[in-house]
Amino acid sequence: MAKRYEVDFKKQIVALYNNGKPLADINREYGIAKSTIKTWVERYNDSGSFNIDDNRTEEEKELIELRKKVKQLEMENDILKQAALILGRK
């Protein structure tokens, strides 16, 4: 299971990196994966938030919504096909 960090802690880590502390030093000192630190820095510096939803472009948000809608319509279509088969047998 992924470890969860408090927002204030993440902000401190980002501040250390932004103030010039090397990524390798932060990794060694705090035991946080370099990829995790990079992700925190990118997200926080881009939008001031660690939440992925706050860091998505409008196009990405629209694509996610459209994919959800397609899945919903595919499920409805499958249900209607099954209903037609059942009703066709009677």
User: What number does CATH give the domain 1-55?
Assistant: 1.10.10
For the stretch 20-48, pLDDT in tens is 999 999 999 999 999 999 999 988 888 78
Contact (Cβ atoms closer than 8 angstroms) between residue 43 and residue 17: no
- Terminal CA-CA length for the chain: 50
pTM passes above 0.75: no
Confidence of residue 16 (pLDDT cuts 50, 70, 90): very high
E-strand ranges in 1-90 read: none
Domain boundaries defined on the chain: 1-55, 57-90
Higher pLDDT, 72 or 47: 72
Tell me the HSE value of 41 on the side-chain side, using a 13 A CA sphere. 19
Residue 33's CB is within 10 A of a number of other CB atoms, namely 10
C-alpha 54/C-alpha 2 separation (Å) is 21
**Residue 45 in contact with residue 58, Cβ under 8 Å?**
no
